[in-house]
Amino acid sequence: MIAVIKTFRREDSCRRCVDSVHGELDIPVVVVDDSCDGEDFGSDYLIRTPFDVGLSAGRNFGVKFASRLDDTILLLDDDHVIAPENGIHDAAWMLHKYDLVTGVPYMHGRHNPPYYWEWLFDFPAPREMVVRPQHERGIVHAANNFFLARASVFDEVLWDEDFKISAEHLDFYMQLYFANKTVFYETNMTVDHLQDTSSARYSDFRLGRLDQYDKAFMEKWDFVSLTATDHTRMP
């Protein structure tokens, strides 16, 4: 198993994530950085890309590199933290049956309820999409950016590099869905998501472009409507 973390202008968060992977999982870490700040994150491998290639291109660099070193990829965001009793190594065996295994993120630490982003897709009419929550352990169509994957998945599906942020997430899972890849939601596999948007160097540059990419996602898939029921927390 090898971890891949894409980072941009969140040096402290990324170092904390790398340290937690080394401490709790004892596996190598690949960091992909498009900040061009020359930071050292304590990772085993560091890939520096041109400035602002975006989440999609950065993750593609990372998983392609990592796939040459191991056949099991752990994808993390740079503001994730691996806590004790995370269930990640225990869940890896499920990749013999499923293409991806995702888990439960705890927003801002374990003192908060789990945050749910597991969806099932419906297409009730041409050019219409509905996503509905799936909180129970089992097959899902979309999940968060915390998962284990067979390295071979990335021979067929990668992130669309036209999406630098936001829509890259749902677009990736749409590609998996239409490639007939299976995603399993394992409720015993967990990560702490200590969401970090505090740095103006990050938020001013990244978060101001969300609407641009959300609109591009709708145009790419020729949707006129996308309806999401509440998916954030258990009822």
Tell me the residue range of the domain where 223 lies: 2-228
Task: Identify whether 79 is part of a domain.
Answer: yes
Q: For 104-136, how does the pLDDT look when each residue is reduced to its tens digit (9 = 90+)? A: 988 877 777 676 667 888 888 888 888 887 778
Q: How far is CA 61 from CA 5, 58, 163, in A?
A: 11, 5, 15
Neighbours of 215 (CB within 10 A): 11
Sign of the Cα torsion 93, 97, 100, 105 reads negative
Tell me whether residue 234 is in a domain.
no
Question: What pLDDT score was predicted for residue 116?
Answer: 64
pTM: 0.92
Residue 233 in domain: no
Inside any domain, residue 157:
yes
Within a domain: 51: yes
Q: Quick: pLDDT tens for 151-178.
A: 999 999 999 999 988 889 899 999 999 9
Coil, helix or strand for 184?
strand
Give the number of other CB atoms < 10 A from CB of residue 113.
11
User: Could you tell me if residue 81 is inside a domain?
Assistant: yes
pLDDT of residue 209: 73
Q: In this structure, which amino acid lies at residue 218?
A: M
Alpha carbons 5 and 147: distance in angstroms, whole number: 12
What is the token pair recorded at 99? 């293409």
* CATH code, domain carrying 220: 3.90.550.10
List average pLDDT for each run of 10 residues in the chain, which is 235 residues long.
Answer: 95 95 98 90 97 94 98 96 96 98 86 73 86 86 93 98 88 96 95 75 67 88 81 38
In a domain, 189, yes or no: yes
Structure tokens at 186: 């394992």
pLDDT score recorded for residue 124: 84
Give the whole-angstrom CA distance, residue 54 versus residue 216.
Answer: 15
Q: Does residue 235 lie within any of the structural domains?
A: no
Q: What pLDDT sits at residue 48?
A: 96
